[in-house]
Amino acid sequence: MPALVDKIRALFRGKGQDKAIISVHSDRIVVVLSILSVFLLGLPLWWTTTRVYRADLPSTQIAQYTHSDVLEIPFNFYVDSPRISPETVQGLVDAKLAKSRLPYRSDKLQVAFTAQVQHGPAPDLPGHYTVETREEGGVAIVGTGRSMQIPVTTTTDANEAAAKWIARIVGKEEREVRAAEGRALKYSPEYAVTFTLINEDPTGGLSVDWKIEQALAVYLQPFIDTVSPLTKLSVSSQVLHHAGPLPVTPQRAANHTYLTTDALPHFINSAGWNLASTDPVSPMLNFILFVPKRDSQPLLILDDHRTQSNTNAFLIPQWGGIAVANFPESAHGHVMISQADLQAYMGIFIAQLRQLLGVRSDTPLPSVKDRVIVQRATATGISGWEFDAQARRWLANNRQTAVTTLSSLITLVESMQNMVVMDNIKDQVDASLAALAKISRARIAVDHARACQDAIVAATKAEGAFFDPSMVSMLYFPDQHKYAIYLPFFLPVAIPLFHALKRVAKDVVAKRKTKTE
């Protein structure tokens, strides 16, 4: 017992007392280093288990397509007149186009429309045009196919005249493509086109139905078939038997009611009219044939000058078109709008549909009295020139979309290191790049519509990758969480470890000193 008491006493004894020290850990350095190496060996394991999967995206390939490279789209003109030399015209056209080309701006499309002039008959493909000369009269005639006749009198220089017309056509379209306008919808491979017959109020008045099936088959189907290589229009129709109160009340005049232009944007009751699409992807285009209630008929649409618009219809940009159908007072009860009656409205709707898709009616040139006659494609609703212009515009737009989307994707993926990048993203990016690579000047020259399809694939795949649901669900650990989870363990462990390391270092230094002494 007294020995123990002595021991305890010795424990509390002050400094300067001599202690007999037995170090059991003369090889402490081995212990410390082995524990440290366990942690170091664990590091790769920790890294692999917390790492997120990131497929290797071809960023260098994407970087090749910069925003500033200009896409060249060549038109092919075929002249077959002994008075015209293709080489001379080519030179003249190139000079004219180079002179008229505006400087490029970074926020606009980077495209250059050029012309290739050659001899011989034109193949029946988009982008190939026949240019003929006319001796009589001073009028240029643009055909509905891919042809035009230019006036060349015996006195004028035929080469100069041909070059002038070609440069006008090409230059005009390039300017239009580069300055985008806002009425048309963004390109989509498919649009859901819905025709709705709206009866404002059937009580005590008309109850209408329509022969839409036949009317669409006759008047719209040719248009749908013609544009089908570029975009699919899926059509449906419905009848709304009771529209209920309108958001804007038509104003009353002596024997009619009217709507002024400022009321038109509020005309649509989108919540009440059951116009919502059930299609998860395709944008919707609405065309409404509106039958006003009996006592507001006839309902007229007035334009800015408060004169009656001759179609009695109006267009809502990016949304659709509305036509108002007034009936004679003799009409009563159940009224079936026949196919013949629908013809006029279908004409309006096709014109509106063209505008919404971005088809310009002054393609390739505006009609000028006694100077230019542009023949209208009444059978199909879209002429060869218009179709080609559309293919070129969508080609340029889609290629641009693909390039910008891919580069945004790379920027996004590189800036978010915790983002999961699945293999299917890489597959889509590769597919998009493959399609982009196909779009070359030579291939465009052969067929504009084919090149446009490639661009569509490129854009669709790029957007598919960018908007893939797996890109949204990020498996990531915020830094705060990491600290909260690691700290309670690693901090208490690290302190004695580093303390021991320090001592080991001290020991080593001390040992060296003793050795040298």
Partner 1 sequence: MHRPLSTSNATQHHYHKFPRQIGEIAHRYNVEELHLSFTQGSWRSEQWGPPTISGHGAGAEVRAKITEDADEDWRGLTNALSGVFCASLNFIDATNTNSPQLSFKGMRHGYLPKENVCTENLTPWVKQLPCQGMAGLGALLNPYRLYNMHFHSMSVDLAPIAVDGKEVLGYKQTLAVVVNPKTFGLEDEWTLAQLVDRDVKAACAAAERSTIRVLQGGGSDRVVLEPKPESEDVVDGYRFGVYDAKKQGGKLENIKFSVDTGAAARQRAAQPAIVAHRYVTGHGGSSGGVESTIVNNSDKVVHVSYMDTLPWYLRLYMHTLTVESESLVDGTASKLKPSSMHYKPAVDRGRPALLELEMDLPAQSRVTLRYGFDKGFLKYSEHPPDANRGFNIGPAIVSYTPIDTDLACAVGAMLEGTGARKCTARVYTELFLASLPTPDFSMPYNVITFTCTILALFFGRMFNLLTRDFVVLKETKDAGQSKKDE
Residues that bind partner 1 (CB under 8 A): 6-7, 9-11, 13, 17-25, 28, 31-32, 35, 194, 199, 201-203, 207, 209, 212-213, 216-217, 224, 234-244, 272, 274, 276, 278-280, 484-485, 488-489, 491-493, 496-497, 500, 503
Of 34 and 415, which has the nearer Cβ to partner 1?
34
Taking the complex as a whole, how short is the minimal distance between the CB of residue 198 and partner 1, in angstroms? 11
Taking the complex as a whole, how short is the minimal distance between the CB of residue 334 and partner 1, in angstroms? 9
Taking the complex as a whole, how short is the minimal distance between the CB of residue 52 and partner 1, in angstroms? 19
Q: Compute CA distances 507 → 23, 30, 33, whole Å.
A: 12, 13, 14
Taking the complex as a whole, how short is the minimal distance between the CB of residue 340 and partner 1, in angstroms? 18
* Spatial distance between the Cα atoms of 56 and 421, rounded to a whole number of angstroms: 8
Secondary structure letter of residue 220 according to DSSP = I
Taking the complex as a whole, how short is the minimal distance between the CB of residue 236 and partner 1, in angstroms? 4
Do 365 and 164 contact (CB within 8 A), yes or no? no
Of 88 and 207, which has the nearer Cβ to partner 1?
207
Taking the complex as a whole, how short is the minimal distance between the CB of residue 195 and partner 1, in angstroms? 8
Taking the complex as a whole, how short is the minimal distance between the CB of residue 331 and partner 1, in angstroms? 14
Most distant pair of Cα atoms in the chain: their distance:
140
Do 232 and 191 contact (CB within 8 A), yes or no? yes
* The two structure tokens encoding residue 49: 């288990």
* Spatial distance between the Cα atoms of 33 and 269, rounded to a whole number of angstroms: 77
* Spatial distance between the Cα atoms of 392 and 307, rounded to a whole number of angstroms: 37
Of 208 and 420, which has the nearer Cβ to partner 1?
208
User: Which residues of 449-488 form beta strands (DSSP E)?
Assistant: none
Looking from the CA of 214 toward its CB, the CA atoms found within 13 Å total 10
Of 108 and 499, which has the nearer Cβ to partner 1?
499
List the one residue out of 349, 334, 338, 341 whose CA is nearest residue 211: 338
Secondary structure letter of residue 319 according to DSSP = T
* Spatial distance between the Cα atoms of 470 and 52, rounded to a whole number of angstroms: 12
Do 358 and 184 contact (CB within 8 A), yes or no? yes
Do 209 and 330 contact (CB within 8 A), yes or no? no
| Count of C-beta atoms within a 10 Å radius of residue 293 | 19
Of 129 and 290, which has the nearer Cβ to partner 1?
290
Taking the complex as a whole, how short is the minimal distance between the CB of residue 349 and partner 1, in angstroms? 14
Q: Compute CA distances 378 → 143, 273, 474, whole Å.
A: 12, 32, 53
Do 433 and 406 contact (CB within 8 A), yes or no? yes
Of 181 and 213, which has the nearer Cβ to partner 1?
213
Do 405 and 466 contact (CB within 8 A), yes or no? yes
* Spatial distance between the Cα atoms of 432 and 463, rounded to a whole number of angstroms: 9
Taking the complex as a whole, how short is the minimal distance between the CB of residue 414 and partner 1, in angstroms? 31
Taking the complex as a whole, how short is the minimal distance between the CB of residue 277 and partner 1, in angstroms? 8
Of 200 and 388, which has the nearer Cβ to partner 1?
200
Taking the complex as a whole, how short is the minimal distance between the CB of residue 193 and partner 1, in angstroms? 9
Region for residue 358 given its phi and psi (left: phi exceeds 0; alpha: psi -120 to 50; beta: otherwise): left
List 151's β-bridge partners, or say none.
Answer: 134
Looking from the CA of 464 toward its CB, the CA atoms found within 13 Å total 19
| Count of C-beta atoms within a 10 Å radius of residue 129 | 24
**Token pair 């060249």 in the structure block, residue:** 72
Of 20 and 442, which has the nearer Cβ to partner 1?
20
Of 152 and 240, which has the nearer Cβ to partner 1?
240
Taking the complex as a whole, how short is the minimal distance between the CB of residue 127 and partner 1, in angstroms? 27
Do 58 and 429 contact (CB within 8 A), yes or no? yes
